[in-house]
Amino acid sequence: MEASELVALLRDLSLIMFSGIAVLSLVVITVIITLLYRKLAPVLDSSRITAKNAEELSSKLGEKLEKPLNGISNLAYTSGRLLSFILGISKGKGGE
């Protein structure tokens, strides 16, 4: 066996070994990803449900608080306008 044949044989064997290692690595990575997905899927579903519940809660709370706060705002605005009219304070007079 000559040196060139030995180099060719070693090259072929190393290519076969590295290809086998690459395929084995891909299989292991695929299995790990599948196992992680199966473990994390319920957690992701639970977080989606929690986020949806929080969104519904904030929406209902906003609806319940909107009317009273809007009424208080209107009352404060009207009171301020009435008080400024009574005291003769208006923006049109230039503060005189």
Q: What is the pLDDT of residue 90?
A: 55
- Given a cut of 80, is residue 49 above it in pLDDT? yes
pTM given for the model: 0.49
**CA 41 – CA 38 distance, rounded (Å):** 5
80 phi-psi bin (left φ>0, alpha ψ -120 to 50, beta other):
alpha
**CB of 90 within 8 A of CB of 84?**
yes
- In three-state secondary structure terms, 69 is helix
What six digits make up the tokens of 19?
């290809």
Q: How far is CA 91 from its chain centroid?
A: 47
- Given a cut of 80, is residue 92 above it in pLDDT? no
Domain ranges of the chain: 3-85
What six digits make up the tokens of 60?
């209902």
